[in-house]
Amino acid sequence: MLRTIIDFILLFIIMVTAQAVVFNHLVLWSVAMPIVFIYWLIRLPVTTGTNTTLTLAFLLGLTVDICSDTHGMNALTCTLAAALRLPILRLYFPREEDLTDPEPSVRSLGSGIYMKYLFTFVTVYCIMFFIVEAFTFFNPLRLVMRILCSSIISFVIILAIDSLIHSRREKRL
């Protein structure tokens, strides 16, 4: 249990730093922006209480907001996404009590379901984030492009990070 908590604190720091230092600056054709720190929310154990999940998600969003000067955009989207996390998981895996491991992962869900869950979550996050962002300049074509490209690039990068973390864990086991 303690090890899981330390693992998650470490992952939080790594994800936020990576987002702030690397991925915020890795914008392709000024539309595709990788949003990678939400991997932390994706991996949060399903047994975490709703209030705790919401609080952690808000803090995650706020930290990223402070680092990238987005004032509440990520905090708002993270809170909404945290509320939608279990409903999204239930779309593909109706009884989360059957999970062998409370952390959603390739091992506990199977790669097909895990990928679907990951992709839906990332897309939902991107849709919400860029709609909030579009309050400033509304340009429908650009909005759709940003949502599409950012979802795809975030999904691919998160998959890569996921496989890195998994191969390391399996070696350790």
Partner 1 sequence: MRDLINFIIRFSSWLVFAFYVTLSCILLFNHNPYQHHVLMTSANSVSASIYGIANNVTSYFNLRSINEDLQLRNAALETEVVALRKQVDDYRLREYADSMQVAEPLQQFGFVIAHVINNSVSRPYNYITIEKGAADGIRPEMGVVDHSGVVGVVNVVGEHYSRIISLLNPDFRLSCKIKGSDVFGSLVWDGINPEEALLEELPKHTVYNPGDTIITSGYSAMFPEGVPVGTVIKSASADDDNFFTLRIHLLTDFSQLSTVRVIDNKNIVAIKEVENSDLHKDNE
Sites of contact with partner 1 (CB under 8 A): 17, 20-21, 24-25, 27, 30, 33, 50-51, 54-55, 57-58, 61-62, 65-73, 75-76, 79-80, 83, 132-133, 136-137, 139, 142
How far is it, in rounded angstroms, from Cα 55 to Cα 8? Answer: 15
Residue 17 vs 167, nearer CB to partner 1: 17
In whole angstroms, the minimum distance from the beta carbon of 67 to partner 1 comes to 5
2: left (phi over 0), alpha (psi -120 to 50) or beta: alpha
Residue 13 vs 166, nearer CB to partner 1: 13
Look at the chain and count its residues: 173
In whole angstroms, the minimum distance from the beta carbon of 136 to partner 1 comes to 4
**What are the DSSP calls for 116-161, one per residue?**
HHHHHHHHHHHHHHHHHHTTTS--HHHHHHHHHHHHHHHHHHHHHH
**What are the DSSP calls for 35-93, one per residue?**
--TTHHHHHS-TTS-HHHHHHHHHHHHHHHHHHHT-TTHHHHHHHHHHHHHHHHHHHH-
In whole angstroms, the minimum distance from the beta carbon of 2 to partner 1 comes to 25
* Matching residue, tokens 């708002």: 76
In whole angstroms, the minimum distance from the beta carbon of 92 to partner 1 comes to 22
Residue 60 vs 122, nearer CB to partner 1: 60
Residue 20 vs 152, nearer CB to partner 1: 20
In whole angstroms, the minimum distance from the beta carbon of 27 to partner 1 comes to 4
Residue 54 vs 99, nearer CB to partner 1: 54
